[in-house]
Structure 1
């Protein structure tokens, strides 16, 4: 099973590929620079849900694996992973911890009303969450020592205590926030490929304090997570409709 991993930026992509001692094979495929490491094809798709969705959709629909040519181990993708660093909700997900999403939630997709925020589903259209395969979430979290819970996708990163409280009130099972997971999940859904989201916590959700960020530690944790989860994914097979 080949796995497509979508990160936001190159440093996250490189943190994933560092998990493999042979280093990545860099492939120029239409629309992307694809870094192949073992069974993983890793793309830095850009920040935010729109860029992430576009990058994931293009890689899936263009058959990026097949573009690599014979003898490369290319094949259909059996899983898509949104991976990178993110903010953790204290005290559940402290800086340096790992999170595997039990739900991938679009936290700010909807409408503001006089009575507060209304999610898109309450407006009568769209969807606001994807649920990764629960057995895979459980096995990956156990393998890498991660917390499980909802990971919120936001287009504007939280920068105040008030906003952090509002998000946690609206989503009491949330443990982290990031900017790409829901976009990756939307793309995976189009081709009925299961999706997973893994985040290494680099900062607390709330007031922005750059001095408290631990980006290097989070990237190192992400590398170690991919080292540990590889055997889990190698032994995991599932019909494509189990992620619904």
Structure 2
């Protein structure tokens, strides 16, 4: 019965090596549809480059900063940077390297954030994307995934930011 004030996309994600490691949290300063565009003879061209809109939605910087501070105060490791939304999970070191080169500072990839951000934008609402790193972006090694640990970290992160969002 109350109007919404915020859209939150939360879950697990793959972390880019050196940017976000297993069990850490990732908080988006930008939410990017990393594979929304077209393949060209020169490589990938985003919808921005094609002139068909924007593949990037900015997070509210003040909200992200308050959440980062709350997460760190709770003793959690959080990485802030671009979170990529992909429709096909990256499965090779070469593809992961291409993404990092194309989107400098990318912290993690997941599959839902950009959709949530577009819905928030349509309602003029701020959006927050919080992910816990369950695996590394690149070759799929299911034995190395740490889903339970990531979900535990996500629960801890959600508890830590609860007061910031109240």
Aligned positions, number: 161
Is 2:67 aligned against 1:129? no
* Cα distance between partner residues in 1 of 2:26 and 2:60: 15
* Cα distance between partner residues in 2 of 1:81 and 1:156: 22
Look up the match of 1:165: 97
Larger Rg: 1
Is 2:103 aligned against 1:187? no
Look up the match of 2:107: 175
* Cα distance between partner residues in 2 of 1:200 and 1:148: 12
Moved over 4 A (4+): none
Task: Give me the TM-score of the superposition, normalised by structure 1.
Answer: 0.65
Q: 1:205 aligns with which of 129, 137, 147?
A: 137
* Cα distance between partner residues in 1 of 2:4 and 2:43: 40
Look up the match of 1:85: 12
* Cα distance between partner residues in 1 of 2:69 and 2:141: 31
RMSD: 0.7
Structure 1 portions without partners, runs of 5+: 1-65, 67-74, 235-244
Look up the match of 2:86: 154
Shift of residue 142, structure 1, vs aligned partner:
1.6
* Cα distance between partner residues in 1 of 2:38 and 2:142: 30
Task: Give me the TM-score of the superposition, normalised by structure 2.
Answer: 0.95
